[in-house]
Every structure is written in structure tokens, then in C-alpha cells.
Amino acid sequence: MSMPLLSILIFFPILGGLSLLCVPRQQTATIRLMAFFVSLVELLLTLPLVLLFDKSTHVMQFVEQHPWIPALHINYSLGIDGISILFLLLTALIIVLSVLVSWESIGDKVPEFFIAMLLLEGAMMGVFCATDFILFYIFWEAMLIPMFLIIGIWGGPNRIYATVKFFLYTLVGSLLMLVGIILLYQHGGRTFDILKLAGQAYPLKLQLILFWAFFAAFAVKVPMWPVHTWLPGAHTEAPAAGSVILAGVLIKMGAYGFLRFSLPILPDATQQMMLPMLALSVIAIVYGAVICLAQTDLKRLIAYSSVSHMGFVTLGLFALNQRGLEGSILQMINHGLVTGALFLAVGMIYERTHTREIAAYGGLASTMPVFAGFFLLFTLAAVGLPGTNGFIGEFLILLGGFESQPWAAVIAASGLILGAWYMLWLYQRIFFNEVRDGMRGLIQLNLREILTLAPMAVLILWIGLYPNALLSFLHVSVGHLLDQVHGVGLAGPVLPPLTSYLP
């Protein structure tokens, strides 16, 4: 019997978090070290998946399946393909960095904070591994509780309003998804096996009903316009680690849901709803970018930028072609790294200044040059400068958009211009101009903070210069997904990697 690697990934952080209960709460240094150790080991546990993964097949790998509730045909069923493996790596990395950025900023209820974070990691791993609908739903709902606590207990002054809004939005959407799961169970041969459900044909009317039931959960999570309003408040009030996890992983789960369920299980409805979804995507791109130009709060600006960037993600998804889908998945990883890095940096500067007002900053390039260098790289990646990871994902998405619906790609391209405007304007206001009162004599980045930002900087450049390192995982799985959407054999051949077009 092979080692249950996926179960270990799910339950190791959960057990590691619960083990913190055995440490006296006064020993905060020990608790922080244990939380970091657990998160770091979890990251190392993802390496065998990468080394043993077979990129030449679309079938699920590292499969685990055991009867759980036989009377209802519910199984403990896990497996990953070339799409989900990238999200496991991203999740493990984000949690390690979130522990580091919380090292000094979290001084109240320290054990509870790190327990919540590690429980959240286990639930997120479960979402990306589950191949049984009920198991997926349990992990999906389980994520809500730790994030609710992280924002509601360790957040800012308006944390209660923000966390209740976040909870209600996501809960309502999840309940509608549960209705869809039950309908699918009744019409899909009384099984919750996601792979079996994706291999069946359903009437178009039923598919449309199910599409909107799933849309309610996934669109809120993305978040798509107009159900995005919970995101800025949650980001603004969350502690730095909460914002990093929200931007880095949680909002990717909505797009992942579309990929894993809506496209392969409901192909006819997906094609029928392609134009409305593309329209919502381009609205989000332009709306989010324009709203960013009016922001005075640093975290709210980055939060609204996520609405715009995730619009690109859904644009690529519903272009329904190879380049669009691969660019969309890659951009989810890129956005998690870039926006996560920006929120890490904002958390570090907030610890020193205790303000998020952009107007209060100025001249940080001269007072904190190392910090300014990191932030410049993250800004350029958010803008999509060639040579950074942000460029590759957006380039593929626009290629896919032009192949599918040129009008959508043209409008989306305007979002790139607006994105460069608000991000470079933000950098100019914070790091240049005259040094404002309160910005002199700020403490330079310490070694822990540099080590927190450095992995993000390295990955931003590495993916930007060698994108095939990630794209190679996607080619076969995305090709198979398109076969399911368009009909077996109709999706066309898997396109060569992007690097074959580059000098």
C-alpha cells in the first residue's frame, strides 16, 4: 500500500495546530516556533508530489479512496491532477510566510491565532484534493470558521462588520451549492464521485440550474462583480496574515470550483453562459481598476486590485480554449504570489507607522531603501512588466480572449493601462516626494522580514523568466478539460508551451 501523501498533507497541519494546545500559553516563543516548524514541514511534504508527479497523463494521481458512508455512496476520496498540484504548493508556501509575518504583530491570544491558521491550512488542502462532492463541501465550509475567527478576533476596528459580511456572503453561496450537489446526486446515478459525475450527460435545463447554483458559491469566492463587496472590508480589517491568505489562496477557490465542477460537469451550460461570464469578467477588470484610482487606504487599493486581476482569471476560464485556461490557472498562482507579497509588505510597514492612509506616506525610498526595492518588484509584477510572472499569465489570457471573443480581450486590455496607472501612482506617492513627518527614522527590514519577502521575489522572477516550469504541469490536464467541455476530440491538440514562441 502506497503512502497516503494527500491525507498527510491535509491532517498534518490540523494535528500540528491542535498540538499547540499542549504548550502553556505563556510560552509564546515556543508556540511561534512550533507553528513555523509545522508549516515548513508541510511545505516540504509537497516536494514528493512534485518529484513523483507524471505530467504526461490527465488522470488523478496519488489517489486515496475508502468507503465513508456507504448507504449514501459517500467516500473519502482524494486525488490531484496537473491543475490542483500547483495550488497545493501555493497554499503551503503562503502559510509559511503568513506565520513569519505574524511573528511580532500578533501579541494577543497567540496560541489560538496559530491554531486557527494551521486548521485553515488543512481545510484548504482538503478542498484542492477532494474528489468526492460531500468531502469537498465539508472542507469548503470548514475554511469559513478559522478565517471568520482570524478576521473577527485579530482584525481592525470594524472587524465584526467585515467578518460577518464575509461569513454571510460565502455561507449563502455555499448553501445554494449544496442544493446543486443534491440535485446532481439525484440525476447523476446517486453518486457524489466528481469524476463519475463529469462523465455523464445532463439535460440543458438541469445544467443551467446547476450552473447558477454553483455560480452562487464560486462567484462570491472569486469574487466576481457584483458580489465582490465583502472583499475590501475583509482585506482592510484582517491582520496581515489574514489578508495574505485571502488574496493568496481563498479567493482562488472560486475559480478552482469553476474549473473542477462547472466546466467538466456542465459543459453545455458553460458554453451557453460563456458570453455573460465574459461580460461580467470585463466589467470586474475595468470597475476594479477605476475604483483603485479613488482609494486613499493602502489595503483597500490592493483589495480592489484583486477584483480587477481576478476578472482576468475568469476571462481566461470562460474563453474556453487552451491558452486562455492555461493563462488563467497560471495567473491565479501569479496573483497569489504578487498580491500576497504586497499584503506582506503592507503588514510590515503598518507595524512601523500604524497607518494605512496613502497620504501619510512619502519618501520611503530614502528612509527604507531595501523595502522600497522589494515593493518596486512587486509593483512591476502587478503591472505585468515583461520578465515578471504577471506578464506571462495576462499575455496568455489576452491571447485566449482574442481567439475566443476579441471584444472581451480589447476591453480587458484597457484594464492593463489602468492597472499601470494606479500601481505606479501608488508607488510614487509612498516612496518618492518629500519625506513626511513620522516617516523619518523608520526601522529597516530585519532578517526575518527579508526572508519573508525574498521567496516571493525569487518566484516572481523565476516564473516570469521560465514559465514552463509551471505550464508543463497544465498542458495535458487542461487539454483533457477542454475535451470534456467541447466533446472528446473536439478541443484540438494541446498547444506547445509558451516558451516555444519566445526567443
Query: Is the predicted pLDDT of residue 293 greater than 70, yes or no?
Result: yes
Q: How does residue 492 score in pLDDT terms, banded at 50, 70 and 90?
A: very low
- Its sign, for the CA torsion 256, 259, 261, 262, is positive
Residue that wins the pLDDT comparison between 438 and 220: 220
DSSP string spanning 185-205? HHHTTS--BHHHHTTS---HH
pLDDT of 503: 36
Percent of the chain residues past pLDDT 90, beyond the cut: 41
As a whole number of angstroms, the distance between CA 123 and CA 146 comes to 9
Cα separation, 206 vs 186, whole angstroms: 11
Q: Does 488 have pLDDT greater than 50?
A: no
pLDDT score, position 398: 92
- What percentage of residues in the chain have a pLDDT greater than 70? 96
Span 25-35, mean pLDDT?
Answer: 90
Q: pLDDT band for position 500 (50/70/90)?
A: very low
Residue-wise DSSP of 403-430: HH-HHHHHHHHHHHHHHHHHHHHHHHHH
Q: Which letter does DSSP use for residue 97 in this model?
A: H
Radius of gyration of the chain (CA): 22
Query: pLDDT at residue 253 above 50?
Result: yes
pLDDT for 118: 95
pLDDT at 434: 78
Helix (H), strand (E) at residue 61 = strand 61-69
Tell me how far apart the alpha carbons of residues 463 and 369 are, in angstroms, rounded to a whole number. Answer: 25
pLDDT at position 90 is: 94
Please compute the mean of the pLDDT values over residues 72-94 and round it to a whole number.
92
Containing H/E element for 69? strand 61-69
What's the mean pLDDT when you consider all of the chain? 88
pLDDT tens digits along 177-234: 899 899 888 887 788 888 888 878 888 889 999 999 999 889 988 888 888 888 888 8
Residue type, 469: A
Average pLDDT of span 128-135: 92
DSSP state of 104: T
What CA–CA distance (Å, rounded) separates 132 from 75? Answer: 6
DSSP 238: S
